[in-house]
Amino acid sequence: MEDRIEEDFNEEELYEHFRFVVDKGQTPMRVDKYIADHMESTSRHRVQLAIEAGYVRCGDKILKGSYKVKPDDILSLLLPYKRHESELTSENIPLEVVYEDDDVLVINKQAGLVVHPGFGHFRGTLLNALAYHAGIPAGESAEGDTRMPLLVHRIDKDTSGLLLVAKNDDAQIFLASQFFNHTVERKYVAMVWGNLTDDSGTIEGNIARDPNDRLRFKVFPDGERGRHAVTHYKVIERFGYVTLVECVLETGRTHQIRVHMDYIGHPLFNDDRYGGNRILKGTIYSKYRQFIDNCFETMPRQALHAKTIGFVHPSTKRIMRFDSELPEDFSALIGKWKRYTDGNEAVKAINGK
């Protein structure tokens, strides 16, 4: 018997979780054949790849492909999400391709581009653009097309920066295992409200949906709910009322940097979901208000950019690392704060100059 026990497409790492309870009358059978026989839309090869990646367990035991299932075994399977839906059509949307070979694509995603279709966003997404990039004619369905690239993680609509995409099943499962085991290098640049006390630090706390607002996530520090999340940060530059920081993800939860920085009292600049779209530090005088409004207009989204990604290549097994420049709106925002800081004695005093 198969049960799909979890399907959370809001996670940065996109997985489907399956659970199988082996019938009492089941004769011994290889676990890869058993699972493939009990899943309508998944090939035995894909199951074998999942086994090699350590995604199949019986209880707490990671299984090998030679394992023979027994009556009453409880099997669990984790598979990177494969999205070939009939409503997913090819669209000619420009993409900035940083790197491409037979196995992987590295995209520098522009702010405002949704990664995959969902509520309110059925067209105009990165997946629609990837279908066209893969050679599927505009307006045609990508359902079942083996040319269609596969996601292994996501970044928020209004976050810019590097996104890694797989081009085949083997590559997807190999790359997804690196995200699952937290071995992918991911560095972000963010501007946050306030002057951080320390030059570097680590934020830990389980993240789950806010029960009072389903569009937000929050930290549950006691671990009573949510998923474990760890963010490391380092100050790049201080501007008195805001701070430019580098954030390194150890885990990849939904809105992780946005939630963790809000949790320690430093929401991202202009993050409307977490309260960063209003003046949180500084004076209330009209001239400063005008400056902040001008900054918000310059960067009308949360100040977050996925700057670096590093991973082991699925075929060559070589370490690959890519770095991206800050987009124009983020660079312009930093420039405004530099000029404001240089001309403001109060801010210089906060910075200890």
Question: Which residues are tagged catalytic?
Answer: 156
Name the token pair of 249.
């993800």
Q: What is the dihedral of CA 344, 345, 350, 353, to 10 degrees?
A: 110
- DSSP, res 278: S
Beta bridge partners of residue 235, listed in sequence order: 245
**Phi, then psi, of 102 in degrees rounded to 5:** -70, -15
Q: How far apart are CA 196 and CA 281, in angstroms?
A: 12
Residue with tokens 């100040």: 303
Query: What phi and psi values does residue 233 have, to the nearest 5 degrees?
Result: -130, 155
Determine contact, residues 125/113, Cβ cutoff 8 Å: yes
Kindly calculate the radius of gyration of the chain based on its CA atoms and give it in whole angstroms.
23
Nearest to 190 by CA among 347, 85, 299, 286: 299
Nearest by Cα to 314 from 186, 107, 167: 167
Q: Looking at the chain, how many residues does it have?
A: 353
Q: Using an 8 Å Cβ cutoff, are 308 and 322 in contact?
A: yes
